[in-house]
Amino acid sequence: MLRFDPNLRWLFTELPMWDRYTAAAQAGFSGVEVAFPYEYPARKLAAHLKDNGLTLVQVLAPVDWEGGSRGIACLPEKKDECRRSVETAIEYALGVGKPMVHVLAGNLEPHHRIDECMAVFKENLAYAADIAGREGITIIIEPVCNARFPAYLYSRLDEGTQIIDELGKPNIKLCFDTYHVQMQEGNLTERLRQVYPYIGHMQIGNTPGRNEPGVGELDLHWFFRQLEKLGWDRWIGCEYAPSTRTLASIGWHAPFTTR
């Protein structure tokens, strides 16, 4: 059986953020992931999670997403800010059950040099992994497709695995997002098998519209059966735009779900 958790930036968006947690629990999920939960004090959110029987699976280290930022960890001019962001995320994570912390690399601007930015990203990840590791927290990195993130530092799984190999920190893991992998590289199941030991988190979305399983060109049900065969027993984040109302879009998960 597989465990799915809705990403509350994508699902249940019909509701105010606070109510999305309860709606997810009422829909049968026992975990959620949230990009930026920092609007609520950790203690308040921890109580809300407990009241709803929810595990918080993953958060992003804070960045000014609404202002257009897609991360700062690779930006040489933002090293201090990045460290503060990582420290904030880890301190918050400690208060809400130690979710994984995704550290976004960021978008390159014309004046940036890719080799310098990659070096800064690795330096910041090593810093994040060391302080997270002392607390038993996993740091997540995620290659994202050029179609959605044209200026992002990296887009391919191999770039992610190379970073992980070079840093040699056991608590840095890859997020395998079916939407991004298929859009960027194709050959989804083979790529899954190739990088499987590096994966710490899984996210799903169908291509090309980034909708739910059953809407789009990927047979995600078949993909889920491959995950079961591989023995995947961690969370799978639902990070897709429902093609209809959220509750009408989630029927697909029932045959695979365990609480």
Ligand X SMILES: O=C(O)[C@H](O)C(=O)CO
Q: Given the rule CB under 6 A, which residues bind ligand X?
A: 35, 60, 102, 104, 142, 144, 177, 180, 203, 239
Q: Which one among 138, 161, 178, 203 touches Mg ion, defined by CB under 5 A? A: 203
Give 17-44 as a DSSP string: HHHHHHHHHHTT-SEEB-S--TTS-HHH
Q: 76 preceded by cis ω (within 30°)? A: no
- Smallest separation, CB 175 to Mg ion (Å): 6
- Characterize 66-86 residue by residue with b for buried, 16 or more Cβ atoms within 10 angstroms of its Cβ, and e for exposed: eeeebbbbbbeebeeebbebb
DSSP 196: G
Among ligand X, Mg ion, none, what binds residue 253 when CB lies within 5 to 8 Å by partner kind? Answer: none
Q: Which helix (H) or strand (E) holds 139?
A: strand 139-141
Q: Is 239 a catalytic residue?
A: yes
* Cβ proximity to ligand X, 3 vs 180, nearer residue: 180
- The single residue of 81, 142, 166, 185 carrying the catalytic annotation is 142
Please give the residues from 212 up to 251 whose contact with Mg ion meets the rule CB under 5 A. 239
Q: Are 61 and 88 in contact (CB under 8 A)?
A: yes
Please give the residues from 67 up to 126 whose contact with Mg ion meets the rule CB under 5 A. none
Q: Is 185 a catalytic residue?
A: no
* Cβ proximity to ligand X, 35 vs 125, nearer residue: 35
- Smallest separation, CB 70 to Mg ion (Å): 12
- Smallest separation, CB 51 to Mg ion (Å): 27
Kindly tell me the number of DSSP H helices and DSSP E strands found in the chain: 9, 9
Return residues touching Mg ion (CB under 5 A): 177, 203, 239
